Structure formats: C-alpha cells, structure tokens
Amino acid sequence: SIRPEAEIDGIYLSNWVDGFRDVDRARRTAGDMVDRGAGVILVAAGLAGTGALEEIAVRGRFGIGVDTNQNGLFPGHILTSVVKRVDMEVARVLREAGTPEFRSGVRRAGLAEGAVDIVIDEYNRAPLAPVQDRLDAATRELMTAAQAAPPARQVPACTPLLQGPRS
C-alpha cells in the first residue's frame, strides 16, 4: 500500500438499485465523506457517481471512477477508473463457442484474464508515473493472491442489498 495508515470506509447510497440513479444523494454523500477527511473516494455508483465525482473535484479531492473510463470528466481530480471489460469476456466466449472444448456455465474472470483493469491514459499518466512501479506490483500481487474475495452473501455489509428494497 502506498499509505498503509489510510482508513477505508464504505457507504451505500441506498439498499436498492435506486441509489445508482440518485446523482444528488451521491453528491451529498461524497461531500459528507470529504467533510470527514476522505482524500480519495472510489465511486461505484453507476450514473449517480457523476454527482459524487463532481463534488470531489469541487472540493479539491480525488476520485476513482468505476465501470467506464471517467478519467476525463474532471481532469486533475480523477486518479484512474476501474473498468469491467465485459466486451473482452463476450468476445472470448464467442471465440470458444465454436470449438469442441466449449462448455457452458458460470465463468469467473478478473485481472489475470483482462476482465477488469485500471485505465491509464493522457489524463492520469503523468500524475501516476511516480507510483507506477507500485501499481504494477500491486496488480501482480492481486493476480496471484491465493484467496479470492468472498461472495457477497458472505459479507455482512452486503446483506441489505441482497434482501431488496425496504417497504
């Protein structure tokens, strides 16, 4: 870790999918996190994430986009974006589908398979250059980690999300 003393906090916008559309709630939540001292916020909030990233930029802090490349939204304030390369996995399955070895079923893919990655481009290449070696080492470590993250049903914080909306 670049800052081993850093604290990690997680906040859900909602206990159901409506949170992914609530730009104003995401903006307020990001502001509250900044007020409590957050220096970097990883924004996994769908469309609502744009509100959070905007608030982060206005407050002079840093964000990490999720799902798509959001590096250019607020230059100087988005450290990187974590992307899911669904296109790569669909292409892989389509290539394999025509072979005798093809088997249907659940497939898992991550960093090692190129299914997730961080984006380094013209918006963040220069600021990340001093820590690029550490990023590469962390990526290698994650790809070879012996223990995978547990399924959401085994993580207590995910329980409300898996139960659906409250009445």
Does the structure show a pLDDT above 60 at 79? yes
Percent of the chain with pLDDT over 90: 43
CA 69 vs CA 48, 61, 166: distances in Å = 15, 18, 32
Within 13 Å of residue 112, how many CA atoms lie on the same side as its CB?
A: 10
Summarised one tens digit per residue, pLDDT across range 20-73 is 899 999 999 999 999 999 989 999 999 999 999 999 999 999 999 999 999 999
Summarised one tens digit per residue, pLDDT across range 89-136 is 888 889 999 899 888 888 888 888 888 889 999 999 998 899 888 888
Does the structure show a pLDDT above 60 at 162? no
78-84 vs 116-118, strand pairing mode: antiparallel
- Tracing tokens 């003393």 back to the chain, one arrives at 5
Q: pTM here?
A: 0.78
Q: How confident is the model at residue 147 (pLDDT cuts 50, 70, 90)?
A: low
Measured CA angle at 128 (ends 125, 129), to 5 deg: 80
What pLDDT, on the 0 to 100 scale, is given for residue 78? 95
What pLDDT, on the 0 to 100 scale, is given for residue 167? 43
Spatial separation of the C-alpha atoms in residues 35 and 143, rounded to whole Å: 34
Q: How confident is the model at residue 145 (pLDDT cuts 50, 70, 90)?
A: low
Average pLDDT, the chain: 85
